[in-house]
Amino acid sequence: MDIEAINLLSYEDFVSTFGNVVERCPIITAAVWSKRPYPSVAALEAAINDFIEALPESGKEGILRCHPDLAGKDLQSGTLTPESREEQGQAGLDRMDASEVSRMTRLNSEYKERFGFPFVVCARMNNKTTIVEQLRDRLRNTHAQERARAIEEVKKICHLRLRGLVLSNQKNKL
């Protein structure tokens, strides 16, 4: 899908197509639809990032709370969004043994207790070992440091999801 096609999407189609580039936050996509036309996909991504950055800290934390626990109950029960299921699978989180799942559950709980939102990391850029290491290491951050770090991870996830949507639609036309 090229930028011209993206710019021509109706509101409903735009939100349906791009509504989960930020996990379970279609309101972000809905808000940036009105800023069309975009000169490039990078400009669309920048608009999403600008929207996120303009939110108050409580709004940023709200975005973070929309994310599932990594290797958590949603993965185990099959209730993840298709994007999250694919990303966690690529990182190997769906192939953890019982002791690894137990450790992740404990660390996820400790993290949420400390910061008030789930641990967010771009799973596609990591594997289960590096995810556990980052989770353990990031527990040492201050609340403000961790909120900022987690929002940067949201932006990485968004970038890869946007890229995947655009590239997969281009491949489907070939």
User: Rounded distance, CA 43 to CA 173, Å?
Assistant: 23
143 is catalytic: no
User: Rounded distance, CA 69 to CA 73, Å?
Assistant: 7
Contact status, residue 68 vs residue 83, Cβ threshold 8 Å: no
Catalytic pick among 60, 67, 128, 147: 67
User: Rounded distance, CA 169 to CA 47, Å?
Assistant: 21
Contact status, residue 29 vs residue 21, Cβ threshold 8 Å: yes
Active centre residues (catalytic): 67
